[in-house]
Amino acid sequence: MKIYKLIVSLFLAFSLTISVTGCGSNASSVSAKTNDEVGSDNPDEFTIRIGVNSLDNNFLLKILDNHTGFLKDKGINLETTEFSAGINTIDAITTDTVDIGLFATYAGVNRIGNTLSDSKLRAFAMIDKSSNYKLYANPDTVTKPEDLVGHIGVSQAGVVFEYYYGELFNQYGIDPKDVTITNVGSVQEALALAANGGGDAYWTGSANYGKFEEKGWKPVIGIDDLGIYMYTFLVADESYLQAHQHEVAKYLQASEEGFKYIDENLDEFAEWVTADTGLDKEIFKAEWNSRRHYYSFEQEAYDDLVKIKNWCYENGRFDTNYKIEEYINTDALAEAFPDRVDWKATE
C-alpha cells in the first residue's frame, strides 16, 4: 500500500467503519492464495487483500508491517487498498479487487437488501462498537434537533448517517420531508459546505470535531443520546471464506498480536503514524486508547444487524425482507477465537 500524507480530517474513517474519507486503487489482482498455489518454498505463506479506510485497524497493521515486518515474519503478505468509505470496499469485493472489506451495520444490511438476488456477502467478525458520533451544526441556524426543519442536513448516500437522521427525525417528531438532505462524498466536502454555508448540519466522529469547530459549528446531539451505536464488521464473499477459512483465522490471530504490539510500543508506533500520514501522534494515541482492538461476534452485534435491517425494510430502503443470519459466517472467527462467537439467530 502506498501511504499518502493525509490531513487530520481523514481520521474520521478510523472512527468508522463505516464510513468516510480518501481514496486509492493500488491493490494487486492476486487473490489470497497459499504459496503452494503460487510457487513459494513456504506452503504456509499466503497473500490477503483487504480494503481499508484511512487509519482503521487494518490500515494500521500495514503501517506496523511496513516498519517491522510483523506480518511478513508470520508468512502473511498483506496487500491493502484505501477507499473513501466501507461501502466502497464491498464494491471491491464484488469485483474481486479485494478479499476482505468492512461495513458499518446500516451500510451492510442496506446493500444486501438491495442485492438479494446475487449477494454472497458474509459478515464474519465485529471490529468496533462506537458511540462517538455527534451531529455538528451551524449555530446560526441549528441549535437543537427541531431546528433542522427548513434547513439542510448533510449526509452520504448509503452510509449509516441516513439511519442517524432517520432515528433523529423519529425521536423528535420531525417530518423527513421538512428537512433537505444533501449528499457529499467525503468529510472534506462536508467541511467545504460548512465553510461556505451550503449546509446546516453533519454527523461526524470525534477525530473531526475540531475541524467543524474551526468552521464555527457546534455539537447538537450525539448518537448516544439517541440510544444507538455504530457497529462495524469485516466482510467477505462466502466462497472466499469457505476456501480460505484457515488463512482468515490466522490473519485474525496475527492481527490481535499486532494490536498488542502497538499497545506495548504506542509511543514509537505513533511516531511511525505521524511520519507516514502526517497525523499528530498525540491525537492518534488518544484515539487508539479510546477504541477496542479485538475481534468478536456477540449477540448484541447480531441484534443490532436485525434491528437496522428491519428499520431499513420498514422505511422503504429495500422491497424484500430477509434473514440476517443467512449473511453471517463466523467459522473463521470461531477457529481463531472459539470463545468470541456468541450469537444465535432469533428471527
Residue 43: predicted pLDDT:
63
pLDDT tens profile 276-285:
999 889 989 9
d(CA 244, CA 156): 33
pLDDT in tens, 153-168: 999 888 889 999 999 9
Q: Is 31 within a domain?
A: no
Cell 513459494 sits on residue: 40
- 55 vs 250, residue with greater confidence: 250
What would the mean pLDDT of 216-243 be, rounded to a whole number? 95
In a domain, 300, yes or no: yes
Residues 247 and 106 in one domain: yes
Inside any domain, residue 10: no
Residues 98 and 245 in one domain: yes
**236 and 332 belong to one structural domain:** yes
Is the model's pLDDT at 113 over the cut of 80?
yes
Share of the chain above pLDDT 90, in %: 72
Query: In this predicted structure, what is the pLDDT of residue 5?
Result: 38
Q: Measured between alpha carbons, how far is 175 from 166 in angstroms, rounded to an integer?
A: 10
Mark whether 331 and 234 lie in a shared domain: yes
- Number of domains the chain contains: 2
The C-alpha cell that represents 9 in the structure block: 480530517
Residues 88 and 209 in one domain: no
Share of the chain above pLDDT 70, in %: 88
Q: Answer whether residue 25 is part of any domain.
A: no
Residues in the chain: 347
Domain membership flag for residue 307: yes
Task: Please report which confidence band the pLDDT of residue 41 belongs to, taking 50, 70 and 90 as the band edges.
Answer: low
Segment 163-191 mean pLDDT: 95
Query: Which range of residues forms the domain containing residue 90?
Result: 46-130+230-319+327-336
Name the domain boundary from 226, 257, 279.
226
| Nearest CA-CA partner of 203 in 233, 165, 232, 175 | 165
Domain stop point among 205, 226, 247: 226
The most distant pair of C-alpha atoms in the chain lies apart, rounded to whole Å, by 66
Contact 12, 187 (CB under 8 A): yes
Give yes or no for residue 2 having a pLDDT over 60.
no
* Residues 75-112: tens digit of each pLDDT: 999 999 998 778 889 999 999 999 999 988 998 999 99
Based on the fold, state whether residues 240 and 254 are members of the same structural domain: yes
The lowest-confidence range among 40-54, 64-78, 175-189, 260-274 is 40-54
Q: What is the CATH number of the domain that holds 138?
A: 3.40.190.10
Question: Are residues 195 and 286 located together in one domain of the fold?
Answer: no
Question: Per the structure block, which three cell numbers stand in for 187?
Answer: 468529510
End residue of a domain, out of 196, 226, 256:
226
Assess whether 51 and 181 both reside in one domain.
Answer: no
Question: Are 154 and 269 in the same domain?
Answer: no
Task: State the average pLDDT over residues 253-271.
Answer: 97
| Backbone torsion region of residue 148, taken as left when φ is above 0, otherwise alpha when ψ lies between -120 and 50, otherwise beta | alpha
Going by C-alpha positions, the residue among 269, 16, 260 that lies closest to residue 127 is: 16
Same-domain check for residues 213 and 250: no
Q: What is the pTM of this model?
A: 0.81
